[in-house]
Structure 1
Amino acid sequence: MNLHVITVSNRRLLSTVAAGLLAATSTIVAAQSGMNTTSLKSTVVLENLENPWDMAFLDDNTMFFTEKCKGLSVLMPNGEVNALLGMGESEGYPSTMSDLFCEGQAGMMGVAIDPAFGDNRRIYVYSTSNMSNPHTNRLMRLVVNDDFTAVSDRTDIVDDVPYKMKASAHPFGGPGAHNGGRVRFGPDGNLYLTTGDNHNEEIPQSPTLMGSKVLRIDTDGNGAAGNTPPKGFDPRTYTYGHRNVQGIAFHPETGTPIVAEHGPWHSDEITVLENGGNGGWDPRQNMAGRGECPDEYCGYTPNQMSGMDRHERAAHMPMTDMITYPNAMPPIWTNNGWSQGTSSAAFLEGEQWGDWNGAMVVGSMGIGFGGTSLGQRIDVIQMTTDDGQIALEDVTEMTLPMEAKRFRSVVLGPDGNLYTAVDEGMIYKLAPGD
């Protein structure tokens, strides 16, 4: 087997799918429901990256990708990597934007390609900016030049997603926390942007603060026609009351948006969204039997209570509080009282996936109670759509060759294979075996 190595911008490209380069490949077995198994081939696409966060593909397998503290780049079908836009003082980029920065969980995050890219050359990137004080997260619209070597015409179509400026007294209280960050076009042609609560107790249920929301907007940043948020809410709001959604994908049969969401050391959830719906997260103190909490944010308090197991903690401070909000959107899946850092989500499509065709895959980063490392994995979530209602059918864990990887992003490529970015600095391709 030949091994092709191309060094570009201090990155080693081990394989380029569209160019047909062969790389060192390992066969893995992913258990499915029932008695069937599917052999997967795992190939490293890029390595020596710095916290790759997201990817987006053109039909010819051109892949835009972000690195949280560096910037935006593109992997071309011929194997070349072109740096496009750097953050702050990033080196090796043809241009940088001085207001973009990274801190804690914040930085350059989600990326999406305009469905009309062939005509308008537009892409959309979500990043943290210090252009204002307090700082904000912004969704930028950029134009890519014809040879994929530069971007221009920055327009901030969303400039008011809250950013956490300072540390807190509660656990994991550093600045830059809980930004959400996934950007995806839905089958309805609208942009969906997920945002987080910043460890700010007021944000989730706020009608005007654009954290803890799923925004549905047009390509100019206006609220999409058909949004039905509650009276008094910002018209860009599709759903609210979330904690920190980093995964959103659309059911291949119904087009329904479904999110994967981080829980507070418990209760990671997968939820089928309803237009105008409430995710039920409300970490304010002195309500629903709670007392005072550190920095008035109760999102972690149950985990500090002695004598409670993880299920009791989840019941005391659920991510979806159906008691306070009986009409909240109920999750179709929770992970049994442990938080394992659910991140991105995608649907597998194509007969090559066998029993998994049409299933949702969700990456986990392995964050457990007390900082323990649990469940760094990819789960396969199979669903039913009886009478148009989406419900959970089965959950299966993929068995992967890599150990202790934090699966930050999972994206289905135009070749039908699954691509995943891991915090450890690599992007992999997972392809069904022969």
Structure 2
Amino acid sequence: MKRSIALLVLWAVTTTSPALGEQSFSSRHHDFRLETIAEGLEHPWSLAFLPDGALLVTERAGRLRMIGQDHRVSAPVAGLPDLVASGQGGLLDVQLHPDFDNNRLLFLSYAHKNRQGMTTRVARAVFDGTALNKVEVIFEALPRSGTSRHFAGRMAFDGSGNLYIAVGDRGEMDRAQDTGDDAGGVHRITLNGAPAEGNPFLSRPGFNDTLFSYGNRNIQGMTPHPETGEIWSHEHGPRGGDEINVLSAGHNYGWPMVTYGIDYSGLPISGKTTMTGVTDPLHYWDPSIAPSGMAFYSGERFPQWRNDLFVGALKQQKLVRLKLDGETVTEEEDLLTGLGERIRDVRMGPDGALWLLTDSSDGKLYRLAPAD
């Protein structure tokens, strides 16, 4: 009975109406409609699908909300860990444990600040439907920094239940090549925060035990491949040089020694786009699209898109579809170019539709579904 009362209180505060309209679009392979599910979200960053059909959405300002099947947006969920919203930092990614139905565990990445500076943290919590309980910090990137840039924060689970966490270079590019520094790399941990078994640098002097890859500038998209289970990622370049990579244990992805981009000043950063011992990107963009959010389509509702990769773009305000032959891009199509929205997150829903978040002070949740 107490839980039912709490649910009523949580859903009593709403910020949107149930019906907000839709728009129609065409692409090379499918006509589709874009439904506005919710609006009025403050810089939403990530979403996750709950078993009952509701969603969880993070707002970078430091709020976690539920959006119900009736499209109503809840009051902020209680119990979040201590965090800071500053610059590019705030409440970032949310990931449900693969066995969430039974254990109710979820994971949040976020920016944290203390006297030593700011960093990327990950906390684990139990979600009871109304609040977070048993909140525990399981990862903290060290050392901290005074900058408020490049927190990264995207996360993904592999088939063994290990959690991958992206940490940006914090705007201090040389840190990405320092293997004793958590910045500028991807970390693989267990549910308790311990280094995952089989990590490439376990007990190796000069390398952090949790480190899985390094030379990563600022990863804003991460997802497992639906067939191989490999973790794919994309990251922001500077002026140009946004990359898609397939993450492999122990690989160096080169930043800032190699890049297809140049510095914001217009000066070169390295002058090299490849180097021995560095893993080349699978695909890159020049000029930059500022990619954010990433999902493979593995549903049945868009048969011509099956196994295509979808990437949101902040700077160029579009959704990019990539058709693949293994790890080779064979077709690239820009979608939603006239929408005028910064696409922050892209997810494939259990309903076989694509779901999008837009990055603004009046952020929206969209559902992309077949036209018929």
Residue 189 (structure 1) aligned to one of 161, 165, 179: 161
Residue 73 (structure 1) aligned to one of 58, 62, 65: 65
Q: Distance between the aligned counterparts of 2:123 and 2:334, measured in 1?
A: 35
The structure with the largest alpha-carbon Rg is 1
Please give the secondary structure, in 1, of the residue aligned with 2:347.
strand
Taking the TM superposition and a 5 Å limit, the aligned residue runs for 1:5-154 are 9=13, 11-15=15-19, 23-31=20-28, 37-85=29-77, 94-95=78-79, 97=81, 99-131=82-114, 133-145=116-128, 148-154=129-135
Q: Distance between the aligned counterparts of 1:78 and 1:27, measured in 2?
A: 22
Cα 1:260–1:13 change in 2 (3 A) is farther
RMSD, aligned CA: 2.3
> Structure 1 stretches of 5 or more lacking a match?
1-6, 16-22, 32-36, 86-93, 166-174, 289-298, 306-312, 367-374
- Give 1:419 deviation, angstroms: 0.8
**Deviation per CA, 1:246-275, whole angstroms, max 9, x where unpaired?**
101121111111111100111111111211
- The amino acid of 1:71's aligned partner reads R
Q: Distance between the aligned counterparts of 1:258 and 1:317, measured in 2?
A: 26
Does 2:141 match 1:160? yes
**Deviation per CA, 1:220-253, whole angstroms, max 9, x where unpaired?**
1112212213843212111111000010112111
Does 2:367 match 1:418? no
Match of 1:358 in 2: 307
Which stretch has the larger CA shift, 68-77 or 45-54?
68-77
> Structure 2 stretches of 5 or more lacking a match?
1-10
Cα 1:134–1:159 change in 2 (3 A) is same
- Give 1:349 deviation, angstroms: 1.1
Taking the TM superposition and a 5 Å limit, the aligned residue runs for 1:228-307 are 228-229=200-201, 231-232=204-205, 233-282=207-256, 301=263, 303-305=265-267
- Give 1:114 deviation, angstroms: 0.9
Match of 1:18 in 2: none
Contact 1:345 1:363 (C-alpha < 8 Å) held by counterparts: yes
- Give 1:107 deviation, angstroms: 0.5
**Deviation per CA, 1:388-419, whole angstroms, max 9, x where unpaired?**
xx22222111145522x111111111111111
Q: Distance between the aligned counterparts of 1:236 and 1:119, measured in 2?
A: 27
- Give 1:95 deviation, angstroms: 4.7
Contact 1:129 1:136 (C-alpha < 8 Å) held by counterparts: yes
User: Aligned residue pairs: how many?
Assistant: 356
- Give 1:58 deviation, angstroms: 2.4
- The amino acid of 2:351's aligned partner reads D
Please give the secondary structure, in 2, of the residue aligned with 1:203.
helix
Which stretch has the larger CA shift, 211-220 or 102-111?
211-220
Which stretch has the larger CA shift, 346-355 or 230-239?
230-239
Cα 1:189–1:132 change in 2 (3 A) is farther
TM-score normalised by length of structure 2: 0.89
Cα 1:302–1:433 change in 2 (3 A) is closer
Contact 1:163 1:198 (C-alpha < 8 Å) held by counterparts: no
**Deviation per CA, 1:151-201, whole angstroms, max 9, x where unpaired?**
111100002355541xxxxxxxxx310011112222332211111001113
Taking the TM superposition and a 5 Å limit, the aligned residue runs for 1:277-426 are 277-282=251-256, 301=263, 303-305=265-267, 313=268, 316-317=270-271, 321-323=273-275, 326-335=276-285, 337-366=286-315, 375-385=316-326, 390-400=327-337, 402-403=339-340, 405-424=341-360, 425-426=363-364
**Deviation per CA, 1:357-399, whole angstroms, max 9, x where unpaired?**
1111011111xxxxxxxx21111111112xxxx2222211114
- The amino acid of 2:215's aligned partner reads G
Does 2:181 match 1:177? no
Contact 1:138 1:161 (C-alpha < 8 Å) held by counterparts: no
- The amino acid of 1:379's aligned partner reads V
Q: Distance between the aligned counterparts of 1:243 and 1:74, measured in 2?
A: 31
Contact 2:173 2:255 (C-alpha < 8 Å) held by counterparts: no
Contact 1:61 1:415 (C-alpha < 8 Å) held by counterparts: no
Contact 1:164 1:199 (C-alpha < 8 Å) held by counterparts: no
Match of 2:6 in 1: none
Contact 2:58 2:91 (C-alpha < 8 Å) held by counterparts: yes
Q: Distance between the aligned counterparts of 2:354 and 2:237, measured in 1?
A: 25
- The amino acid of 1:381's aligned partner reads L
Contact 2:123 2:139 (C-alpha < 8 Å) held by counterparts: yes
TM-score normalised by length of structure 1: 0.77
Match of 1:428 in 2: 366
Cα 1:415–1:212 change in 2 (3 A) is same
**Deviation per CA, 1:124-149, whole angstroms, max 9, x where unpaired?**
0011112452232210111112xx11
- The amino acid of 1:334's aligned partner reads Y
